[in-house]
Structure formats: structure tokens, C-alpha cells
Amino acid sequence: MRERGPQTAGTSSTSGDALEPLRSHVRDPSYEFDVGPGWRQLVHECHQAGVAEFPHYELLAAKQKWGSLSFQAFPRPWKPGGNWTNAESARLNEITAAFAGRSKRICERCGAAASQRESRELVLVLCDGCETVVPEHGRL
């Protein structure tokens, strides 16, 4: 008997299991998470904190933006006319903001203690070791 996977994942073989639980919350099934390996655990924890209070939250994106984690989510799947209260939206923002704050001190490449580096076009959060390895115009 042939096994049938949920979906062919294209080229995302390196996405890792930490982000797998988030898949069912993503609005666009073809979305590729744009975070480095050092942040995957953090993104996973952000998901866990979010899903604990908003079991059906909708994820639009999880990515690095301006040197911190941008976890863009709605409390529930978006509907015309609204599908959540302002208080719920504020609460979810509070959760994701806490993780954005933590991400500023975690190396996006290796997960070590780090700081924001502004020597490149893109602000990156890197530890001392990774700072010397990632090239001028490089992503991770």
C-alpha cells in the first residue's frame, strides 16, 4: 500500500519539524517560513503560546523583519465583518510581541546569545561567531 502524505512539500525539506505544527494554521498552504535555524525553536514556542489561547489562530507570516521575529497572526481565520474582538487581537499581539523581544537576543543562525547587527543592508540578529561568517549582502 502506498503512503499518502498530507501534501508534497516542494523544496522545503530543510524546514524541520519545529515548524510543522504551525502548518495547519497558515492561511496560504504554499507559504515558506523565512526564519533561520536559530529561531525555529522560538517560532515554535510562539506558536505554542498563541495556540494555547487561540486554538484556531490564523498565521499569515513568520519571518525576520527589522532584526526581530515578525509573527503575523489573527486570533481566528479572517472573515468579512470581523471574527474577533479588539481585546483578543491585543492579547495575541501581546504574545507575539514578547517573542519578538526575545528574538533580538537570539542568533538567527545558531540560536546562541546574540545582538542586532546593523552593518548590513538587512538588520540581522547574530552572535559574535556568526557575525564573522555571514557575508555583507548575505542572508543566513
Among 107, 125, 134, 140, contact with Zn ion (rule: CB under 5 A): 107
Distance CA 59, CA 35 (A): 14
Q: Given the rule CB under 5 A, which of 65-73, 80-88, 117-125, 128-136 is the region that contacts Zn ion? A: 128-136
CB 76 within 8 A of CB 45: no
Task: Tell me: does residue 61 bind Zn ion (CB under 5 A).
Answer: no
Task: Tell me: does residue 116 bind Zn ion (CB under 5 A).
Answer: no
Q: Given the rule CB under 5 A, which of 21-29, 45-53, 73-81, 126-134 is the region that contacts Zn ion? A: 126-134
CB-based contacts of 116: which residues, under 8 Å, 6+ apart?
A: 67, 68, 104, 123, 124, 125
Q: Which is nearer to Zn ion, 25 or 109 (CB)?
A: 109
Work out how close the CB of 129 gets to Zn ion at its nearest, in angstroms, rounded to a whole number.
Answer: 5
Task: Tell me: does residue 106 bind Zn ion (CB under 5 A).
Answer: no
Point out which residues pair with 69 in neighbouring strands: 64
Compute CA distances 98 → 11, 30, 52, 54, whole Å: 31, 27, 15, 16
- Residues near Zn ion (CB under 5 A) are 107, 109-110, 112, 127, 130
